[in-house]
Amino acid sequence: MTYLYVSALPALAIRGYSNVNVRVDWRASQHFKFSVVGRNLLQPYHYEYASDPGPNVGIKRTAYGQITWTH
């Protein structure tokens, strides 16, 4: 698990935010590993930078699973 705090960018009208990312792995055998990952879990989205021209770009909350097979 990682916790991240990013301060505001007042010149770009972007507020500061806190963020948590989590990864859980399970090695089922010598050759198989299963993972579940959640990113940006504290809010549905946040702004990291401004887009010029146009609206600010929002980074959304995401989750995914992964299966790794090694041979």
How far, CA to CA in Å, does 12 sit from each of 9, 17, 34, 43? Answer: 6, 14, 40, 20
In this prediction, residue 31 carries a pLDDT of 95
Q: Which H helix or E strand runs over 33?
A: strand 32-39
Q: Where are the domains of the chain?
A: 2-69
Give the pLDDT of residue 58: 87
Residue pLDDT tens, the chain, 71 long: 999 999 998 888 888 999 999 999 999 999 999 999 999 999 999 988 877 777 888 899 999 999 999 99
Biggest alpha carbon–alpha carbon distance for the chain: 51
Q: How many CB atoms lie within 10 A of CB 9?
A: 14
How many residues are given for the chain? 71
